[in-house]
């Protein structure tokens, strides 16, 4: 109604104003149902009359200001007209002076004003607005009662503000704080109306998904999907936020598909997008839905492009069509969205160009990116579009059409690399593109400067709290970076130490971070014991495994079964025949849903001890499932605390190098017991970094190339041609530089090999011409050991110097698996174990044989000095952290690399882990080869001083021979740090001599049929556990059918001191 003045009395005026105010509120509420802007116009008109009729002192006027401002906010959110935003902000600012009248109203006013400033920031990029938003948002939360119904809304609003700030600054602390606020809002559910609970839940899903996108923890991604699904269940589809919820859930499913490649996730993404389109949602969300469909088309293109070019182009064309539909339905006034859709349309045209080679597609992409940059609001320009346009210039440079293309690409990429608000992974990937572009034009100094920038970002990319699997995912794109960057450093005339440091910092990142946490801190403990104690406390929290929900359910099931067993015992007692009858039938046994505690209370009167058992088990069942979300947040907090503590420690006198990369002198000192040779294979050059006799030298390897190594890696690596190539191109130049020409007598020089890239799987210790002149092989000149990095060698020696001086081994744990469920039996495992046990007794080691299940073996590891496993090994082709030694329970609870990396027995420093299984030192995922994550490195990092393992499949009978040979030397020489490597070296020389003898006999025609038959069975390999022996196993072969004979001694390697 319109109010006519004057009225008969002040009371009548006030009553009519109240009716008008109520009418405006009803129109506001009606908008929530209709999403019709006309309802907002009616509300604004009503509130405007109320405000005009009252003085500033009147409380109703303050209410009208607040409601009218709310109407303008809603109108702005629909139409995105900046004038509505400014008008609403002006109304709120005018109401500031009246806020003190009512404290409850004050908090509400402050929160709404905070959100207005947040919207203003999004339009203007004025930091003043953002700071005002934080200020008023925090005032609202602080002023609201802890039991206030609206407090949850204020927390959610403040969460949105800090998430906006994070998007501007890239400050992860603000993202984490936004999430903490959102968790608090959801926790207030009992005092929150159901109508708004889903809104708080949706914001929690949003910031949780944002944390996944920033940090890469898949637990966050899974949790965000759970949250969104829960919110979606009760969210009314008529509310405009419903479509946004569907789109965020769709995005989460698509991101999980990209991580896990589960087809069902992509199907869910597509289904949710189509649902929003079919319900004719707001044009903004229609556009988002069409874009999401287009992005699923590009995901499908990525999935099939290597197999079917025709199908791949079909997916790209569908993506282009859907992106254009997104642009069509999105109003031009929403320029940020238009720019986003254009950017992704450019990605689609680049994908099409890569399939067709059509210059027209590339020109189209360039025009699209230029338009996207042009129309994007200045306040939201963050250089994110630059990388896309740079791709166009990179591709054009390959056509040679414009000499300036590379420079234009570099300028665009540099803007992104230097922008701290761009996600870290994007900055790292952009930096790598810059390095390779500059290297391609011979600008080595510039390329080296960029690579140093990237090295500074890598530790931030993989924070300590992330699980190993999450870190692996983030590091996949860095496969060859460290090797190429080291080569770039040499081309830029950097010193050998500087180039070697690049290798050390850029590869083995995951193991390096764990080495840092487990480093010796005795100096810190001596000088600053309080800080050492604090560091150990935080380290143990981060280093501890994340308890899995699987473990929870196993323990829960055991408790339920125990209750059933105990209740049956009680029912067999006189007078207790009906005790807990329902427990026998209830599969879930949830005490909060059945009144069995009353039965136990009765039992307690006569049998208190028995009742106590029940209470303990029932309390266990009542415990909530451990929240992965809470655990991730705690680990995240601990990670931040330990980084701050490390900075504090480094600021103290004498502690400036605490947990930093080793210095040049520390690296040189690591080679006192023998040379360390880091072999770097790069597309630019190949070199050996030789650390020996007080210096770090570089031995160029001109005969080697990355392509050669990649080609040879496709052949059997025990092929004599491979071993001869390794000798000629790598081993011989290195040995010559060391002056190791010929070895005589019993004093053998030692070499620790650190191969990089695809060379990491090659048997450098077996390089040579074994049939020719004696001495033409590594085996004839030096004792070889391996390491994943120089830092690992330094770490092991530091611990040995301070923790093992007076430690004498006394206990051996033997685990044998001659028969493994689902796999071929191993006929020589029992023989091997019998010999090992006999020699352990000779070494005065007490022998234990734990149950062959994971938990029992892990427990035994914590109290042994020698661990010997004989059985099947499994190398996971995708996730190295899931490679495992197979035990009886391997299907349910495998003994994986990831499990071992969570195991820390560094203080005990056990002597030897002998892994007599296939491929325990192998990484099959080429993208992660430089991380060196395999079973050998896992046992070494857990704390074992020495580990003996294998590079690939091994012969069952030879395994027993090699183990016996190693232990024989240990019995003869004692359990010194030379004996494992010396024992392996000697036994390999003996097996090689046997092989040469057999080759000579065969060449002379002296092989007898009986000898052939006798050895037939022994030629069956220990097939890896993920290979079906019936279908893919290597057939047994007769030696006269094999032109070279099996070199079974080649794959055995030693890691350690």
Has residue 708 been placed in a domain? yes
Asked whether residue 681 falls in the same domain as residue 787, the answer is yes
978 and 1050 in a single domain? The answer is yes
Q: Does residue 500 share a domain with residue 379?
A: yes
Pick the closest to residue 428 from 487, 320, 506 (CA basis): 506
Residues 612, 760 within the same domain: no
Q: Could you write out the DSSP letters of every residue in 501-557?
A: HHHHHHSSHHHHHHHHHTS--HHHHHH-HHHHHHHHHHHHHHHSPPPPHHHHHHHHH
Q: Is 406 left (phi over 0), alpha (psi -120 to 50) or beta?
A: alpha
The pLDDT of residue 207 is: 95
pLDDT of residue 808: 74
Strands 884-885 and 895-896 turn out to be: antiparallel
Q: How much is the pLDDT for 55? A: 78
Which residues are CB-contacts of 381 (< 8 A; sequence separation ≥ 6)? 373
Q: Residue 529: left (phi > 0), alpha (psi -120 to 50), or beta?
A: alpha
Mean pLDDT of 342-348: 94
Query: Would you say residue 373 lies in a domain?
Result: yes
Q: What is the mean pLDDT of residues 389-399?
A: 85
* Structure confidence at residue 940 (pLDDT): 92
Q: What average pLDDT score do residues 290-314 get?
A: 92
95 vs 77: CA distance, rounded Å:
21
> Which CATH number fits the domain that encloses residue 874?
3.40.50.1460
Q: Is the pLDDT reported for residue 187 higher than 90? A: no
Give the pLDDT of residue 607. 84
Q: Is the pLDDT score of 462 beyond 60?
A: yes
Neighbours of 850 (CB within 10 A): 17
pLDDT at 664: 94
Confidence tier at 97 by pLDDT (50, 70, 90):
low
How sure is the predictor about 1045, in pLDDT bands with cuts at 50, 70 and 90?
low
User: Has residue 264 been placed in a domain?
Assistant: no
Contact status, residue 942 vs residue 861, Cβ threshold 8 Å: yes
Structure confidence at residue 591 (pLDDT): 39
* 3-class DSSP assignment, residue 620: helix
The answer to whether the beta carbons of residues 728 and 703 sit under 8 Å apart is yes
Q: How far apart are the C-alpha atoms of 899 and 576, rounded to whole Å?
A: 46
Q: Which pLDDT does position 629 carry in this prediction?
A: 55
| Per-residue exposure over 499-510, b if at least 16 CB sit within 10 Å of its own CB, e if not | bbbbbbbbbbbb
Question: Of 759, 791, 823, which marks where a domain is finished?
Answer: 791
Q: Are residues 19 and 84 in the same domain?
A: yes
In tens, the pLDDT along 856-902 reads: 999 999 899 999 999 999 998 888 888 999 999 998 889 999 888 88
Q: Is residue 301 part of a domain?
A: no
Q: Which of 376, 400, 313 is nearest to 348 (CA)?
A: 313
User: What does residue 456 show for φ and ψ, rounded to 5 degrees?
Assistant: -70, -20
Q: Chain-wide mean pLDDT for the chain?
A: 83
Same domain, 842 and 969: yes
Query: Which pLDDT belongs to residue 630?
Result: 61
Q: Which carries the bigger pLDDT value, residue 360 or residue 81?
A: 360
C-beta separation of 889 from 854 below 8 A: yes
Asked if the model's pLDDT at residue 647 lies above 60, the reply is yes
Q: How far is CA 110 from CA 125, 129, 132, in A?
A: 21, 14, 10
Question: Is the CB of residue 85 less than 8 Å from the CB of residue 66?
Answer: no
Same domain, 691 and 786: yes
Whether 275 is covered by a domain: the verdict is no
How far is it, in rounded angstroms, from Cα 1050 to Cα 723? 10
Distances (CA, A) of 508 to 475, 579, 680, 818: 10, 59, 14, 34
What pLDDT, in 10s, does the model give residues 1003-1029? 776 544 444 334 333 333 333 334 333
With bands split at pLDDT 50, 70 and 90, how would you rate the model's confidence at 592?
very low
Strands (E), 827-882: 846-848, 866-870, 873-874
HSE value, Cβ hemisphere, 13 Å, CA-based, for 48: 12
The parent domain of residue 644 ranges over: 521-546+628-651
Number of domains in the chain: 6
**What is the CATH number for 14?**
1.25.40
What's this model's pTM, rounded to 2 decimal places? 0.79
Same domain as 494, residue 377 = yes
Q: Establish if 873 belongs to a structural domain.
A: yes
Mean pLDDT of 941-950: 94
For the residues of 932-952, what is the DSSP string, one character each?
--SHHHHHHHHT-SEEEEESS
Q: Which of 44, 71, 100 is the last residue of a domain?
A: 100
Question: How many Å apart are CA 177 and CA 162, to the nearest integer?
Answer: 7
How many residues in total does the chain contain?
1057
Secondary structure, 3-state, 381-436: CCCCCHHHHHHHHHHHHHHCCCCCHHHHHHHHHHHHHCCCCCCHHHHHHHHHHHHH
Give the angle subtended at the CA of 654 by the CAs of 653 and 659, to the nearest 5°: 115
Statement to judge: residues 437 and 404 lie in one domain: yes
Q: Would you list the DSSP string of 218-236?
A: HHHHHHHHHHHHHHHHH--
Q: What is the pLDDT of residues 708-736, one digit of tens each?
A: 999 999 888 888 999 999 999 999 999 99
Lowest mean pLDDT, pick from 156-170, 529-543, 799-813, 846-860: 799-813
825 shares a domain with 787: no
Whether residue 355 is found in the same domain as residue 435: yes
Token match 């050991």: residue?
A: 785
- The full DSSP string for 105-161 is HHHHHHHHHHHHHHHHHHHH--HHHHHHHHHHHHHHHHHS-TT-TTHHHHHHHHHHH
């Amino acid at each position: 109604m319109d109010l006519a003045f004057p009225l008969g009395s002040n009371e009548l005026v006030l009553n009519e104003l109240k009716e008008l105010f109520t009418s405006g509120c009803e129109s506001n509420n009606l908008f929530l149902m209709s999403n019709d802007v006309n309802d907002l116009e009616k509300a604004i008109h009503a509130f405007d009359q109320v405000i005009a009729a009252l003085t500033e002192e009147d409380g109703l006027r303050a209410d009208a200001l607040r409601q009218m401002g709310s109407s303008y906010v809603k109108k702005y959110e629909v139409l995105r007209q900046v004038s509505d935003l400014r008008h609403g902000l002006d109304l709120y600012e005018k109401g500031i002076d009246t806020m003190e009248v009512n404290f409850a109203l004050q908090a509400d006013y402050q929160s709404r004003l905070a959100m207005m400033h947040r919207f203003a920031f999004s339009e203007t990029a004025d930091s003043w607005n953002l700071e005002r938003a934080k200020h008023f948002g925090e005032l609202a939360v602080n002023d609201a009662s802890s039991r206030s119904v609206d407090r949850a809304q204020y927390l959610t609003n403040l969460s949105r503000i800090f998430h906006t700030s994070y998007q501007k600054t890239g400050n992860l602390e603000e993202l984490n704080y936004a999430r903490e606020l959102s968790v608090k809002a959801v926790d207030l559910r009992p005092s929150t109306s159901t109508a708004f609970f889903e809104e708080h839940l949706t914001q929690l899903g949003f910031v949780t998904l944002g944390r996944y996108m920033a940090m890469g923890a898949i637990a966050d991604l899974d949790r965000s999907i759970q949250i969104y699904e829960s919110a979606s269940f009760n969210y009314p589809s008529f509310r405009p936020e419903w479509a946004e919820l569907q789109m965020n859930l769709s995005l989460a499913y698509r991101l999980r598909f990209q991580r896990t490649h589960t087809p069902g996730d992509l199907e869910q993404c597509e289904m949710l997008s189509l649902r929003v389109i079919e319900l004719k949602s707001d044009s903004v969300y229609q556009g988002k839905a069409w874009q999401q469909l287009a992005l699923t088309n590009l995901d499908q293109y990525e999935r099939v492009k290597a197999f079917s070019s025709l199908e791949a182009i079909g997916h790209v064309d569908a993506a282009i069509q859907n992106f254009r539909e997104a642009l069509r339905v999105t109003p031009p006034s929403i320029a940020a969205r238009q720019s986003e859709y254009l950017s992704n349309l450019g990605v689609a045209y680049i994908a099409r160009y890569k399939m067709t080679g059509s210059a027209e597609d590339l020109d189209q992409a360039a025009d699209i990116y230029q338009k996207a940059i042009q129309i994007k609001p200045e306040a939201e320009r963050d250089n994110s579009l630059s990388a896309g346009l740079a791709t166009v210039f990179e591709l054009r440079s390959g056509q040679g059409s414009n000499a300036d293309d590379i420079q234009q690409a570099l300028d665009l990429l540099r803007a992104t690399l230097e922008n701290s608000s761009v996600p870290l992974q994007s900055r790292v990937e952009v930096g790598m593109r810059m390095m390779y572009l500059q290297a391609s034009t011979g600008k080595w100094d510039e390329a080296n400067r960029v690579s140093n920038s990237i090295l500074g970002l890598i530790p931030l990319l993989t924070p300590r709290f992330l699980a190993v699997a999450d870190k692996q995912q983030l590091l996949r794109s860095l496969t060859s970076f460290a090797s190429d960057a080291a080569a770039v450093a040499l081309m830029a005339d950097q010193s050998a130490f500087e180039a070697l440091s690049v290798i050390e910092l850029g590869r083995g990142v995951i193991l390096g971070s764990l080495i840092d946490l487990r480093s010796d801190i005795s100096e810190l403990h001596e000088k600053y014991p309080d800080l050492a104690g604090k560091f150990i406390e935080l380290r143990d929290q981060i280093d501890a495994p994340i308890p899995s929900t699987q473990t929870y359910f196993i323990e829960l099931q055991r408790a339920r079964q125990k209750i059933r067993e105990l209740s049956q015992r009680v029912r067999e007692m006189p007078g207790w025949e009906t005790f807990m009858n329902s427990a026998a039938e209830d599969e879930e046994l949830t005490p909060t849903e059945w009144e069995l505690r009353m039965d136990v209370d009765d039992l307690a009167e006569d049998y208190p001890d028995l009742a106590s058992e029940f209470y303990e088990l029932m309390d266990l069942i009542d415990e909530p499932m451990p929240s992965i979300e809470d655990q991730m947040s705690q680990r995240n907090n601990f990670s931040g605390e330990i980084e701050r503590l490390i900075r504090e420690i480094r600021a103290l006198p004498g502690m400036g190098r605490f947990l930093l990369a080793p210095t040049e002198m520390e690296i040189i000192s690591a080679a006192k017991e023998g040379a360390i040779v880091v072999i770097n294979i790069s597309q630019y050059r190949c070199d050996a970094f030789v650390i020996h006799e007080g210096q770090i030298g570089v031995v160029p390897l001109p005969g080697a190339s990355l392509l050669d190594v990649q080609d040879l890696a496709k052949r059997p690596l025990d092929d004599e041609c491979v071993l001869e190539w390794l000798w000629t191109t790598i081993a011989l130049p290195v040995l010559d530089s060391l002056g190791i020409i010929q070895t005589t007598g019993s004093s053998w020089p030692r070499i620790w090999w650190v191969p990089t890239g695809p060379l990491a799987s090659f048997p450098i210790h077996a390089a040579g011409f074994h049939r020719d002149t004696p001495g033409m092989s590594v085996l004839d000149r030096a004792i070889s050991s391996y390491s994943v990095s120089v830092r690992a060698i330094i770490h092991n020696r530091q611990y040995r110097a301070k923790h093992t001086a007076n430690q004498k081994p006394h206990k051996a744990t033997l685990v044998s698996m001659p028969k493994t469920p689902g796999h071929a039996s191993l006929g020589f495992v029992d023989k091997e174990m019998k010999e090992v046990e006999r020699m352990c007794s000779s070494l005065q080691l007490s022998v234990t044989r734990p149950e062959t299940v994971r938990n029992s073996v892990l427990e035994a590891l914590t109290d042994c000095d020698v661990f010997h496993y004989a059985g099947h090994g499994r190398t996971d082709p995708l996730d190295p952290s899931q490679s495992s030694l197979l035990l009886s329970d391997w299907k349910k609870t495998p003994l994986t690399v990831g499990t071992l990396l969570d195991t820390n027995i560094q203080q005990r420093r056990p002597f030897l882990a002998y892994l007599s299984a296939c491929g325990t030192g192998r990484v099959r995922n080429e993208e992660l080869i430089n991380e060196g994550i395999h079973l050998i490195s896992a046992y070494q990092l857990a704390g074992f001083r020495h580990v003996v393992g294998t590079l690939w499949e091994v012969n069952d009978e030879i395994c027993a021979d090699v183990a016996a040979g190693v232990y024989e030397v240990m019995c003869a020489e004692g359990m010194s740090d030379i004996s494992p490597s010396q024992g392996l070296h000697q036994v390999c020389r003996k097996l090689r001599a046997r092989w040469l003898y057999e080759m000579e006999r065969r060449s002379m025609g002296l092989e007898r049929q009986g000898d052939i038959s006798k050895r037939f069975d022994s030629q069956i390999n220990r097939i890896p556990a993920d290979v079906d022996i019936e279908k893919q196993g290597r057939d047994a072969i007769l030696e006269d059918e094999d032109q070279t004979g099996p070199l079974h001694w080649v794959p055995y390697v030693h890691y350690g001191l």
